[in-house]
Structure 1
Amino acid sequence: MEWSALGTQFCLELAFGVLLGLTLIPKAPLGVFFYRLMGTTAFLPLAAAAVLPALYGTSPRADGAVLAAAAGALAFPVVVAPVRARTRFRALAWATACTGVALVLTVREAPEVTGVGALVLGSLSAMATGTVAGVVGLAMVVGHWYLTVPQLPISFLRRLNRIAVVAMIASAVFVALSCVTHADALRDAATPLFSSFGLFFLSARVAVGLALPLLFAWMAAGSLAYENTRSATGILYASTVLVLIGAAVSISLQDTYGIPL
């Protein structure tokens, strides 16, 4: 079995999104078990990105992305420990930054990512994709926490939902910019992106991974306006499935066209 760079990128995107979401709600009184649960959810794909390329891929152990992912994974014991919020925030910020660096170094290896501009756009697109998937999933879990911690301020769930909306809009913008910037390469590909086959997958990426979740985020915001966390959580559950599908389709498109979409 050979591990691919796209597998590494998918793991890094998911880890980046969850870690970023946790970093943005540092003072949420969610308890140690929550951070153990979500910390493990984030650090498992991060650890996979650090270990599997060296064991089953073509990347050397000294590869920059592998080292950055490994450096980020070192924060795991602090994140899941019963420590002060400030200490956990610093550990999460470190892990998020390292994961971001690893993601940039991984995107740099994409076939059509040539030049600084393409690298910046591709990296931002990959980070936005990961943020959508990670933050929506995190928001769904936080929504469940209101069942066990009823006094938990609703502002934390609202914040995550708003962050998800911003990430979805940003991701859509980056996908559009990538299509414009790489129009010639996408048109000259063996299966042109703007052919019926390519447009089917691009439409699935946008509709399933971004447009529908954006609609669901609006619906969740409406529920949260009435402090109805149960309805919002149910909506976020459905949205989590959609954004994960969208992230997977994004990786599939990158496998075909060589750029993050």
Structure 2
Amino acid sequence: MIGTVAESFFYNLAFGVSFFTFLIPTRSTGAGLMKVMSTISGIALLFGVILHLMYAPTSSIQAILSFAALLSFIFIYVLHTDEKHWSMWLMYALHTLALGFIFIPFYNGDLKAMAQMMTGSLLLGNITFAMVLGHWYLVTPKLSEKPLLQAVMLSWPLLVVKTVLSMFAFFKHADMFKEGTTEGGGYAFNWMMFIMRVGWGYVVIAIMSYFSWRLVKMRSIQSATGILYAQTFFILVGEIISIYFFHSFGALI
């Protein structure tokens, strides 16, 4: 079970971070930031593939799609220049589609699970991406705040969708949260996990995101990055709880 949770988390991180690389203005940042993001995504994907191959053959659909995405990350790392060549957009499309399609076999075509996990993946990736981007302003101090502002603002619709999906799931699995229940990990455990998931994964993220946005607008980038660093911790905890609950008890929270 721990292996499945870890595998799901690494795939989510790889997909989420790499998805938002279209926001990187490489003419201003240089190709270095794209290489950093590709490395983060590639390493996360590599861990996911290793865990997958512990129980599945290399000929599985998930493994083949993973290898295709890994290859695109390698090409981006080696060949990306300060100008976004059409071939790099092709590599972006390749890893985005490959990692996106992995959600289908991984969640057995369950549309609700796919929607919940893909939204969580994008939210996790968005905040991680924004945190790394914030650090890059130390490398290029004159970089416009626009890409970081866009990244922060894109987290808002994702947070709304994810919260709504979790609330629907809560009412669907309401029996897990009734006193005396034997479902899941028991009454106290279920509530503790749910409160941590909502409190840290949604409420704290929403509040911190607002302050990040305000600070970026003021061009207080270092302060905003500090908040994004804390957000990364909270979203990691929230998403790991969500992944654990689904794979352990079949509940999408």
TM (normalized to structure 1)?
0.85
Residue in 2 that maps onto 1:68: 65
Residue in 2 that maps onto 1:208: 200
Q: How does 1:82-97 map to 2 (within 5 A)?
A: 82-83=80-81, 84-85=83-84, 86-97=86-97
Cα gap change, 1:247/1:182 in structure 2, threshold over 3 Å: closer, same or farther? same
Q: CA deviation at 1:196?
A: 2.8
CA distance in 2, matches of 1:28, 1:160: 18
Q: CA deviation at 1:193?
A: 7.5
Structure 1: stretches of 5+ with no match in the other structure: 109-115
Residue in 2 that maps onto 1:242: 234
CA distance in 2, matches of 1:185, 1:74: 43
Does the alignment pair 1:43 with 2:29?
A: no
Residue in 2 that maps onto 1:78: 75
Asked if the contact 1:122–1:259 (Cα under 8 Å) also holds between the matched residues in 2, the reply is no
Q: Percent identity?
A: 22
Q: Which amino acid aligns with 2:67?
A: A
Residue in 2 that maps onto 1:257: 249
RMSD over equivalenced CA pairs, Å:
2.5
| Count of aligned pairs between the two proteins | 249
Cα gap change, 1:186/1:24 in structure 2, threshold over 3 Å: closer, same or farther? farther
Q: CA deviation at 1:23?
A: 2.8
Q: CA deviation at 1:101?
A: 1.0
Does the alignment pair 1:29 with 2:28?
A: yes
Q: CA deviation at 1:48?
A: 2.4
SS at match of 2:158: helix
Q: CA deviation at 1:235?
A: 0.8
Does the alignment pair 1:104 with 2:101?
A: no
CA distance in 2, matches of 1:70, 1:126: 21
Q: CA deviation at 1:256?
A: 2.6
Q: Which amino acid aligns with 1:158?
A: L
Does the alignment pair 1:146 with 2:137?
A: yes
Structure 2: stretches of 5+ with no match in the other structure: none
Residue in 2 that maps onto 1:19: 18
